[in-house]
Structure 1
Amino acid sequence: MYVAAKGGEKAIGNAHRFLAERRRGDIRLPEVSVEQIREQLGLAVDRVMAEGSLYDRDLAALAVKQAQGDLVEAAFLLRAYRTTLPRFSPCPVLDTGRMRPLRRISAAYKDLPGGQVLGPTYDYSHRLLDFSLMEAQAAANVVYLVDKVGTLPSRMPRLTEILDSDGLVETPEPERDDEAAVPDITREPLEFPASRSARLQALARGDEGFLLGLAYSAQRGFGFQGHPFVGEIRMGYVPLEVEFPDESLKVRIGWILVTECVMLSRAVEAGACECGFVQGYGLVFGANERKAMAVALVDRALRSRELGEEVRYPAQDEEYVLRHCDNVESSGFVQHLKLPHYVDFQAELVHVRRVGKESEGGIDEGSSLAGSGQEGR
């Protein structure tokens, strides 16, 4: 992100102090704590963790507080901190089949083995303002339905496993082998054509709004033809393990909350898939199924080339999507326009005057700021 600035040290210091005052707000009111943000603004924290590429609820909550609720700025703060952290060991691939789900639904199968688990969701609310939330709630009135990972349902079969047993859905070949490790786009430059694992990494930490717009465009026919179906959405805790190569030992170090989505659709071109249904896939940190669904839809659109479909629209263009979905990079490039461009603008001004002078009814040079010495004030 472009953050360079020269001169005006005193003014910059005053701007920082003014910002701190604005962030604190009315000092007659209690200051919101990081713990309150972590527990009561959980969906904002989850989004910052996903787009900041760092699973740490406390640090994400701190970033939300420091950024005054600006989630893009908070993700930037979290990424900046992430670059200072050492890497101890890569983790084995997460087995989401071992997820202990808080929520698990399918729009494709009503009687899903293991059952539909509605979990915590806004889907069935009436979207009416609840004015009781403006009053302090007594902690004694809160009933916790689930407070430990161990109380959640154990392994539930994934829908793709059921369909695969009947040969109805593709099973993409894993890209990882003994010679080539999965790329890490946070440490290696993104190259094109990108592998699917690299694409999914970029989408997982991409801007939710941008991906949502692309997913919407794909649904409306500007990505791939055919109606997508939510095969399964599951949100819950997955065991995180580290591997010790010398001892061939895996040790569970904790549980992380993730949201997974599998979209199913028919292949457009005949012969592209012998089994009938192809997959779009999304996996993101925290509870964020709208983002996971958008990722799955865009992933499906980006698979158009490999499935022999015509690439015509933005959602199908790998370089367009992956180069522009990163909100930290795009925000920086847009906001760098606020930095001084005096010389560039004067060059453009000279060109405009020259063109105007050469044309009939040219611009009066004496009426502008050129040469007046005021352009830097």
Structure 2
Amino acid sequence: MYVAVKGGEKAIANAHALLAQEGRGDPGTPRIAVDAVAGQLAVLVARVMNEGSLYDPELAARAVLQAQGDVLEAVTLVRSYRTTLPRFGYTLPLDTATLPPQRRISATFKDLPGGQQLGVTFDYTHRLFAEATTDGPVVTASAAEPSGPMPRVNDLLGDASLIEPERSPDSTDPEPADLTRDPTMFPMSRAERLQALARGDEGFLLALGYSTQRGFGRTHPFAGEVRVGEVEVEFDAPELGFAVPLGRVEVTECQMINQFTGSADKPAQFTRGYGLAFGRSERKAMSMSLLDRALRADEFGERREAPAQDEEFVVSHSDNVQATGFVEHLKLPHYVDFQAELGLVRRLRHEHEERAAAVAETEEVRA
């Protein structure tokens, strides 16, 4: 580190002071409150929670403030804090089938049981700067209220055997590994891959998901359904013999309907892609579902030809904390390494010049 450099320790202390000063901004403006970030920058806070692997809007908002809006720095703060937390047990799987959506759309069926619900989204806004206002309009109800039960689109297709079952009737459901505690081993189970994708960098997943739509992967996707809403979390307490409700968390779920498959023994049917993320994170959930399907190539006997179909490539490079550390470590002192390579380059250049001089001398003698 730069502490070893003459005056380095004092320089680092000054750098910390400058960072705090720049982060505070104009002292004449009010300091941004944590609850303001959590309430008004909910999409940003959701991204930090997803990639930080911890659902805590207040803590994620604090991280955003401390990191001065640097998402990757905020994610690193959240993950570092997460490692200090004790683990008391596990919750039951979320029952997203009964999730009461604040937003629910489908690109596959116009008339859905229960109806489409637009909810909170940027999808229908004009991409223009709005005038600054102190308070926005108060909306007490959605413009499209649910008109009845809302079965999932993929379940409707599943009832008609038009899409692969969620799990094969003869398959087991092994306990998934915990990527935050166990080393990553390839090949991974689908559950482990989904863990990695949920923690993955949104931009990286978006780029790879986009690549599958452009032909670099066998997806041919349709957005079966996107839901956003709150779902109850229940803690499994073996000593009590029943689950204990802990509260509700906001999640975004995407069920993607993908390229159909079939064989001489099996009729044609659609295949699935799945994504689930904390908070309002539609882009993340959709990207996850595209990659989930692309990474299932082996299950359908497909050739893995595209980057999005390569499990090790996707998982190993989607973790932005690891990527940030590896890229930014280049800023740290590499004096010894560079001097060694500099010496090598100088020696090679000297040898090249000697050879060139010898060749020139030989040519001159021949002439």
Q: TM-score when scaled to structure 2? A: 0.90
How far, CA to CA, are the matches of 1:273 and 1:26 in structure 2? Answer: 67
Query: How much does 1:213 deviate?
Result: 0.5
Query: Structure 1 residues 146, 332: CA separation in 2 closer, same or farther (over 3 Å shift)?
Result: farther
For residue 217 of structure 1, what is the amino acid of its counterpart? S
For residue 276 of structure 1, what is the amino acid of its counterpart? Q
Instruction: State the structure with more CA Rg.
Output: 2
Residue of structure 2 in register with 1:222 after alignment: 216
Whether 1:347 aligns to 2:340 is yes
Deviations 1:27-70 (A, max 9, x none): 01111110110111111001000010000000000000000011
RMSD: 2.2
Query: How much does 1:251 deviate?
Result: 1.9
The answer to whether the 8 A contact 2:154-2:163 is kept is yes
Residue of structure 2 in register with 1:161 after alignment: 155
Whether 1:189 aligns to 2:183 is yes
More helix by share: 2
Equivalences for residues 140-179 of structure 1 within 5 A:
142-145=137-140, 156-173=150-167, 177=173
How far, CA to CA, are the matches of 1:152 and 1:20 in structure 2? Answer: 48
Query: Structure 1 residues 110, 73: CA separation in 2 closer, same or farther (over 3 Å shift)?
Result: same
The answer to whether the 8 A contact 1:267-1:307 is kept is no
Query: Structure 1 residues 153, 86: CA separation in 2 closer, same or farther (over 3 Å shift)?
Result: farther
The answer to whether the 8 A contact 2:106-2:224 is kept is yes
Equivalences for residues 84-95 of structure 1 within 5 A:
84-95=84-95
The answer to whether the 8 A contact 2:63-2:77 is kept is yes
- After TM superposition, the structure 1 stretch with the greater mean CA deviation from structure 2, 272-281 or 307-316, is 272-281
How far, CA to CA, are the matches of 1:110 and 1:153 in structure 2? Answer: 14
Whether 1:212 aligns to 2:206 is yes
For residue 346 of structure 2, what is the amino acid of its counterpart? R
How far, CA to CA, are the matches of 1:272 and 1:304 in structure 2? Answer: 19
How far, CA to CA, are the matches of 1:32 and 1:282 in structure 2? Answer: 33
Query: How much does 1:245 deviate?
Result: 1.9
Query: How much does 1:12 deviate?
Result: 1.1
Q: Tell me the SS of whatever aligns to 1:360.
A: helix
For residue 338 of structure 1, what is the amino acid of its counterpart? K
Query: How much does 1:119 deviate?
Result: 0.4
Query: Structure 1 residues 58, 299: CA separation in 2 closer, same or farther (over 3 Å shift)?
Result: same
Query: Structure 1 residues 118, 276: CA separation in 2 closer, same or farther (over 3 Å shift)?
Result: same
Q: Which runs of 5+ in 2 are unaligned?
A: 356-367
Identical pairs, percent: 52
Query: How much does 1:320 deviate?
Result: 0.2
How far, CA to CA, are the matches of 1:157 and 1:327 in structure 2? Answer: 35
Q: Which runs of 5+ in 1 are unaligned?
A: 363-377
Residue of structure 2 in register with 1:277 after alignment: 270
Q: Tell me the SS of whatever aligns to 1:256.
A: strand
Q: Tell me the SS of whatever aligns to 2:293.
A: helix
Query: How much does 1:142 deviate?
Result: 4.1
Equivalences for residues 1-377 of structure 1 within 5 A:
6-7=3-4, 8-130=8-130, 132-133=131-132, 135=133, 137-138=134-135, 142-145=137-140, 156-173=150-167, 177=173, 180-224=174-218, 227-267=220-260, 270=263, 274=267, 276-360=269-353
Query: How much does 1:154 deviate?
Result: 8.4
How far, CA to CA, are the matches of 1:203 and 1:342 in structure 2? Answer: 37
The answer to whether the 8 A contact 1:98-1:155 is kept is no
Residue of structure 2 in register with 1:369 after alignment: none
Count of equivalent residues: 349
How far, CA to CA, are the matches of 1:41 and 1:176 in structure 2? Answer: 41
